[in-house]
Structure 1
């Protein structure tokens, strides 16, 4: 009888917990299986002197985020005094949530990739969620390496599954296929380096860094439109949630959300702990927690209001996020809306209107 790899066992235990409670986001205070990721660039797979990580293995992809956080931490002094203030913690935690909620598994059912009963550490290239996340992890890591953040002269060639088209694997290839997104990541890492010479007060420096970060992250999400065909493998409810989740990025990016470890945990914990099925209608999904049902209801409400207003809610919000001060207020409002069930949705609309007039 074959023994389970410790990583697979840890993941399966995390998934077992998630069957009866909110999504499992942390393990010993860190993203899922963080302790088994690499902490040095030299620990990644190499071939002929070139780094060859496989982002279709969970530990490899999470390792890219760990290395990115470590490489950019020296520039994060304005973010706050703690060791987990880097905005890229949000992406690492998001990957862990996708894993434990089953969203990195093969949705076609043709393979056991990502399944607890199959290859639990596999990330399926057929998953819409893993495809979208690839554009955040791969493009940012390749850009960071290009700008010397992984060490002088480090070259990277990402592995890709056989038969999977559309996934760029080198800086040059990604820059050719997705020039807008790569240019924005380049600008972010250049801005980070320049921030050490900036004389701005910390709150303005922080706002500036977060602004550049979210411009880059939105560039990745826009490039991930090439993943859209993969949504056909999911229920209509999961597709609605996925699109609402993408749309929510417009709000958090405009507010320059500080996606530190602590704040990201708050926003990710109430997200659905499993892939939604046909007939799942919040707030009455029996096997999801009240918090998960609430977050899905809020996503649904924002989608309905935006449709009712002819798509202008996002534009109203962006218009209101016109200064360091209103963006700080915006971050607090988003937290209230998602996490406080007693916060009236009407308050959200009236506050946006008031903030817009002050711009």
Structure 2
């Protein structure tokens, strides 16, 4: 069992070596999400009590294993996404979780415990972490839905473990469906859509676009459900809270464009994210110990959030109205890449193109 749970000393060495490789966030090891080799690809490797799967989503490897199991179970239905083994849009989720780990965002922000720290349990995900809390809704909820829809095997039941004394997280499909009906129903719709797409006679590009639409609808519903995590933002600096909010706001754009969050695309967008928790004195684009790419990403996120706020939400509304067809969404994905990854791409160009695109809808 040490392979799956992994010894803390080995984990510490792995994380230390990964973090020392670059000032940018480390999200890949040998082309796969960090520590992927130490996760399990077998449902039967998860803890079982009285015939019920009981994974511990507050242990990093368990939570990462939820993604690995979902990807494996749904891959046979992902033909419209491409021919590569890493073309499923679900790959963006383990990369995101890996970035949260290596950037220190899953650790206890209160300092009351050593959860998530190199001096403590490196694989512990703190229930006090806003990032760990928000990610719960994008890991535990889809896994419970996948099990309910039969992707993990006939009749498989799941109950998530929860630390003693913690009561603010749903742990079963029925519990989560009662508390967050929109989130669970949209994840159900995504998994059901995968099955029906296999029998659809639509062109592959239209099937792909439709499935990505279902996927992002579920992602956004999980984000809305995670509003229960908001009080945990009080543990962080104003700079980190501002980034966290703009990070969530960016999902409005990628979801409307039906971003294909496969491994390759997701890595390009996640690698430039800040490789550590921001402090009150941090001000992009002049954060000395962050890379130029990280500073640029923080600046763009801040700009998009500020402009949208100043315009009373108009920027997001304009963008959503412009993403009205398969072709405009394709162009939108290209624009997002330019905006976030090309420092010479002017923000006013972004605004003018969006305005022009809305007239064609």
Q: TM-score band, normalised by the shorter chain?
A: over 0.9
Residue equivalent to 2:4: none
Please give the residue correspondences for 1:262-273 in structure 2 after superposition, counting only pairs within 5 Å. 262-273=264-275
The separation in 1 between residues aligned to 2:291 and 2:305, in whole angstroms, is 21
Shift of 1:184: 0.5
User: Per-residue displacement from partner, 1:78-102 (whole Å, max 9, x unpaired)?
Assistant: 1111110101100110000000000
User: Post-superposition shift, 1:15?
Assistant: 2.8
Residue 4 of structure 1 deviates from its aligned partner by 4.4
CA drift of 1:48 comes to 1.2
Map Cα deviations across residues 22-66 of structure 1 (whole Å, 9 max, x no partner).
000101110010000001111111111110100000000000000
Contact 1:181 1:219 in 2 (8 A): yes
Other structure's SS at 1:88 match: helix
Name the Cα RMSD after superposition. Answer: 0.9
Q: CA separation in 1, counterparts of 2:135 and 2:235? A: 17
Instruction: For 1:232 and 1:16, locate their aligned partners in 2 and report how far apart those are by CA, in whole Å.
Output: 29
Report how far residue 307 of structure 1 moved: 1.9
Correspondent of 2:20 among 16, 19, 33: 16
Alpha-carbon distance in structure 1 between the residues aligned to 2:237 and 2:49: 41
Determine the C-alpha separation between the residues in 2 that align with 1:14 and 1:168: 33
Q: Within the alignment, does 1:124 sit opposite 2:126 as a pair? A: yes
The separation in 2 between residues aligned to 1:171 and 1:185, in whole angstroms, is 11
Residue 257 of structure 1, CA deviation: 0.3
Structure 1 length as normaliser, TM-score?
Answer: 0.97
How many residues in Structure 1 have an aligned counterpart in Structure 2?
A: 355
Which one of 315, 333, 336 corresponds to residue 334 of structure 1?
336
Write the deviation string for residues 104-159 of structure 1: whole angstroms up to 9, x where unpaired.
00000000000011110100000000000000100000000001100011010110
Instruction: Point out 4+ residue stretches in structure 1 off by more than 6 angstroms.
Output: none
- Structure 1 counterpart of 2:304: 302
Matched residue, 1:343: 345
- Return the TM-score normalized by structure 2: 0.97
Aligned partner of residue 310 in structure 1, secondary structure:
coil
Equivalent of 1:205 in 207, 224, 227: 207
In structure 2, the residue matched to 1:284 is 286
Shift in Å at residue 205 of structure 1?
Answer: 0.3
Aligned equivalents of 2:8, 2:61: Cα separation in 1: 15
Which of 261, 264, 268 lines up with 2:263 in the alignment? 261
Which secondary structure does the structure 2 equivalent of 1:181 belong to?
A: helix
Aligned mates of 2:158, 2:13 — CA distance in 1: 30
- Report if aligned partners of 2:36, 2:64 keep a CA contact under 8 Å in 1: yes
1:89–1:259 Cα contact (<8 Å) kept? yes
8 Å Cα contact 1:8-1:121 kept in structure 2: no
Q: Which residue of 2 aligns with 1:88?
A: 90
Structural mapping, 1:109-120, within 5 Å: 109-120=111-122
